[in-house]
Amino acid sequence: MRWKRRRCCAHTAFLLILLLCVGGLVVLGQWKRPRVNPVTMTDRGVHILKPDSNSSSMKQSKWKYPGVPPIPPMFDVKLSSALDESSQQGLEISLGSNISLSGEIRAKRTLVVEPFKYILNEPEACMQSAPFLVLLIAVEPKQVDARNAIRQTWGNESVAGGLGFVRLFLLGVKDDKGIGSKIQRTIEAESRQHHDIIQQDFQDTYQNLTLKTLMGMYWVATYCPSARYVMKTDSDMFVNTEYLIHKLLKPKEQPRQKYFTGYLMRGYAPNRNKRSKWYMSQELYPSERYPIFCSGTGYVFSGDMAHRIYGASLSIRRLHLEDVYVGICLAKLRIEPVPPPNEFLFNHWRVSYSSCKYSHLITSHQFHPNELLKYWQHLQSNKHNACINMPLKVKDKTSRKLL
């Protein structure tokens, strides 16, 4: 009996030692395994894992922007089942690849990512010819007056002087009513009349402005890959489109590649004030400085940049500050925005109006639709004699709203 007890105790001790060894191996394996953090997206967004800073794919000693993780090698991208019922072709995107004339972008290793569903689309807007300029205008669903004012002023086809020109308003879905509401029916009727609205199924809020901009990038890469230049701007802007086309972009010159310009924002730090509209948490963006970016009130880029920026975005966690986010995409692509030839061409604040100043700038901010119609008409009537006997001084003393 005593022998049996000793045997039982020895057996129990052996099992306890074995369990301790196995548990230790499991804990050691978990400790060595690199941790991952989920990307913060909207409730209907795509979740992509971002490697932890201790992961081997993050260790690049010469990386210029410490707050922006390098692209992991597994994050080449394929966009499949593209968009709406009328167009089922897919788009493959790989950073560093080239767009063919047919708009195809090839990638060796791919990651399938589904875009938001199109509610309204204009897939044939560039079918007749490759436009010289595509205007992407972020606007809220309820801003009917702003859209009509832009159609009659700087967004009118006549400003291009016979060059190919496409105007697109970028919309999400109004958050409280959604699809089927009265305002949505109004937008659909407006779309049938003007054919200049694209809309996807995400909530149209300030926090989702980045999604709205990426929708425009995706549209250009998919439906208008031969566009020479693209401008993204907002609905409350005054844009001197004629000056933009003929003085900055210069149609008679060779088209640029990897070109991006606007009002340059250098050395800006994230705003850590939780009460600020531009608040950026330490968790979302831990670095002390943003890379160089252009104010989202209006920036211009060559047509090839649309697929590059969208491709880069698929491996970068979404941030609600759209212009900062695009700047991060450019930093990952190793493409730095270039300053415009005149530092006062792009203004992200309101410039006091005079026909002289406005005939020599590209953007001015905070315009009501009625003001836009009034000042545009005045500028068209006076632009040729605007600066006679007047010194040209575009810089305005109006206080600037910075991040």
Q: Do 352 and 359 meet the contact criterion of CB atoms below 8 Å apart? A: no
**Percent of the chain scoring above 90 in pLDDT:** 61
Residue 178 pLDDT > 80, yes or no?
Answer: no
Between CA 357 and CA 241 the distance in angstroms is 14
pLDDT tens per residue across span 19-39 = 676 666 554 554 443 333 333
Q: Which tokens sit at 287?
A: 């670095």
Q: What distance in Å separates the CA atoms of residue 203 and residue 187, rounded to the nearest whole number? A: 15
Residue 129 confidence (pLDDT): 86
Q: Burial, 65: exposed, middle or buried (Cβ in 10 Å; 0-12, 13-18, 19+)? A: middle
pLDDT tens track for 316-334: 999 999 999 999 999 999 9
Q: What is the domain class of 116-332 according to CATH?
A: alpha beta
Give dist(CA 167, CA 133) in Å, integer: 9
Cα separation, 142 vs 251, whole angstroms: 35
- Locate the domains of the chain by residue range: 116-332
Give the mean pLDDT of 179-204. 93
Within 10 angstroms of residue 204's Cβ, the number of other Cβ atoms is: 21
Asked if residues 167 and 154 have their Cβ atoms less than 8 Å apart, the reply is: no
Packing angle between helix 209-223 and helix 322-332, nearest 10 degrees? 50
Residue bearing the bigger pLDDT, 359 or 55: 359
Predicted TM-score (pTM) of the model is 0.72
